[in-house]
Amino acid sequence: KLNIGVDTLQHGIEGLTYLLTESSKLMISEIDFQESIHVLGFSDELNKLLLQLYLDNRKEIRSILSELAPKLPSYHSLEWRLDVQLASRSLRQQIKPAVTMKLHLNENEDQTAQVLQTDPATLLHLIQQLEQALGEMKTNHCRRIVRNMK
């Protein structure tokens, strides 16, 4: 229907794909994009279309590309439950509080769930440590780095 050869069409699509992915990957500015495609000698109308195509799809392309980076299992969610152990085979009449958790992680497109348990003292320790971790981004040191990186 387009009246061009299969090869030409394929090359066209590959070229377009390459153009859009490279531009999105590098997050180049509008001006840089325009300058880059100017070299190709297309009409002004086509250049405008290509620019619009780039700007419209850039975010989505970047989020797809981010999936390709090496990754560790990542946090998905946490369920928790409060338990009190009252007795066991070795010891009766206990009152042993514990927090049982199910940690859901995303690992290479699979979701894994791991059951973990901890005692009240360790729970408070975990909270304290992780709150410290969260606070780090707000320190002057981190703020300075973030400012200077951009």
Partner 1 sequence: SNSCISDDPDLKDIDPAVLKHCHAAAAMCILEAGKQKADLAAISTCLEDCKLDKERIEQFCTEYQKNKDALEILLGSIGRSPLHITDVSWRLEYQIKSNQLHKTYQPSYLVTLNVENSDSGSHPDVSFSCTMEQLQDLVGKLKDAAKSLERATQM
Q: What is the Cα Rg of the chain in Å?
A: 27
CB closer to partner 1, 8 vs 60: 60
User: How far lies 42's CA from each of 45, 62, 67, in Å?
Assistant: 8, 26, 33
Note the residues at the interface with partner 1 (CB under 8 A).
Answer: 25-27, 62, 65-66, 68-75, 77-78, 80, 82, 84, 88-94, 96-101, 103, 105, 114-120, 122-127, 129-131, 133-134, 136-137, 142, 145-146, 149-150
CB closer to partner 1, 3 vs 66: 66
CB of 51 to partner 1, least distance (A): 19
CB of 68 to partner 1, least distance (A): 4
CB of 32 to partner 1, least distance (A): 13
CB of 72 to partner 1, least distance (A): 5
3-state class of 74 per DSSP?
strand
CB of 101 to partner 1, least distance (A): 8
CB closer to partner 1, 11 vs 25: 25
3-state class of 76 per DSSP?
strand
| Cβ atoms of 34 and 51 closer than 8 Å | yes
CB closer to partner 1, 47 vs 118: 118
Rounded distance between C-alpha atoms, residue 140 and residue 73, angstroms: 30
Rounded distance between C-alpha atoms, residue 71 and residue 109, angstroms: 11
Rounded distance between C-alpha atoms, residue 8 and residue 29, angstroms: 29
